[in-house]
A and B are shown apart, each in its own frame.
Chain A
Amino acid sequence: MGIMLSLQEVTKIYPGAEHIKAVDNLSFDLEEGEICTMVGPSGCGKILIDDQNVNRLDTIGLLRSIGYVIQNIGLFPNMTIAENIATIPKLKGWDHDRIAEKVESLLEIVNLPPNEFMDRYPRELSGGQQQRIGVARGMAADPPIMLMDEPFGAIDPINREHLQDEFLKIQAKVKKAIVFVTHNIDEAIKMGDKICLLKDGKLVQFATPEELLTEPVNGFFRDFVGGDRTLKRLNLLKIKAAMKPDPPVIMQNESSEKAKSMFRELKLDHLIVVDNEKRLVGYVDQEALRMASPRYSPMSLAIL
Chain B
Amino acid sequence: MQIRLFYPFIKKFAPFAVTAIIVFLLYKYYGALKYTSDNLAEFFRLNYEHFFLVIISMATAGTVGVGLGTIMTRKGFERFGSAIMAIVNVWQSIPSLGVIALAYGFLPLIGLSGIGVIPALIALFFHAVAPIVRNTYAGIKDVSNDVIESATGMGMTPNQILFRIEIPNALPVIMGGIRTSTAIIVGSAPLAFLIGGGGLGFWIFTGIALMDMGILIAGAVPVAVIAMLFDALLSRLEKIIVSKGIQIKEYQTA
Q: Using a CB–CB distance below 8 Å, which chain A residues touch chain B? A: 54, 60-64, 66, 68-80, 87-88, 91, 121-123, 134, 137, 147
Contact = CB atoms under 8 A, between A and B. Distances in A.
Q: How large is the interface on B (under 10, 10 to 19, 20 to 34, 35 or more residues)?
A: 20 to 34
A74 B171 CA distance: 18
B154 A77 contact: no
Given A76-B165, A78-B168, A79-B243, A68 B150 contact: yes
Contact of B154 (A62, A68, A79, A121): A68
A70 B149 contact: yes
A69 B151 CA distance: 10
Contact of B147 (A68, A76, A121): A76
B155 interface: yes
Given A72-B146, A73-B150, A74-B148, 4 more contacts: A68-B150, A68-B154, A71-B146, A76-B164
B150 A64 contact: no
Nearest to A60: B155
Contacts of A63: 153-155
Interface in B136-165: 144, 146-157, 160, 164-165
A75 B153 CA distance: 12
B151 A76 contact: yes
A277 B243 CA distance: 70
Contacts of A80: 245
A61 B245 contact: no
Contact of A121 (B150, B156, B244): B244
A64 to B, nearest CB: 4
A91 B244 CA distance: 22
B153 A77 contact: no
Nearest to A73: B146
B246 A77 contact: yes
B250 to A, nearest CB: 15
A94 to B, nearest CB: 14
A2 B63 CA distance: 54
Interface of B: 144, 146-157, 160, 164-165, 168-169, 171, 243-246
Contacts of A76: 147, 151, 164-165, 169
Contacts of B154: 63-64, 68, 87-88, 137
A233 B148 CA distance: 39
Q: Which 5 A-B pairs have the closest CB atoms?
A: A74-B150, A121-B245, A63-B155, A64-B155, A68-B153
Contacts of B147: 74-77
26 contacts: A54-B152, A54-B153, A62-B155, A63-B153, A63-B155, A69-B150, A71-B146, A72-B144, A74-B147, A74-B149, A74-B150, A75-B147, A76-B147, A76-B164, A76-B165, A77-B245, A77-B246, A78-B165, A78-B246, A79-B243, A87-B151, A91-B156, A121-B243, A121-B244, A137-B154, A147-B153
A45 to B, nearest CB: 18
A78 B243 CA distance: 5
B243 to A, nearest CB: 4
A3 B214 CA distance: 87
A66 to B, nearest CB: 8
A138 to B, nearest CB: 8
A74 B245 contact: no
Nearest to B244: A121
Contacts of B157: 60
Contacts of B168: 78
Interface centre among B148, B155, B164, B246 (most CB of A within 10 A): B155
Nearest to B245: A121
A137 B153 CA distance: 12
A52 to B, nearest CB: 13
Nearest to B150: A74
Contact of A91 (B144, B149, B160, B243): B160
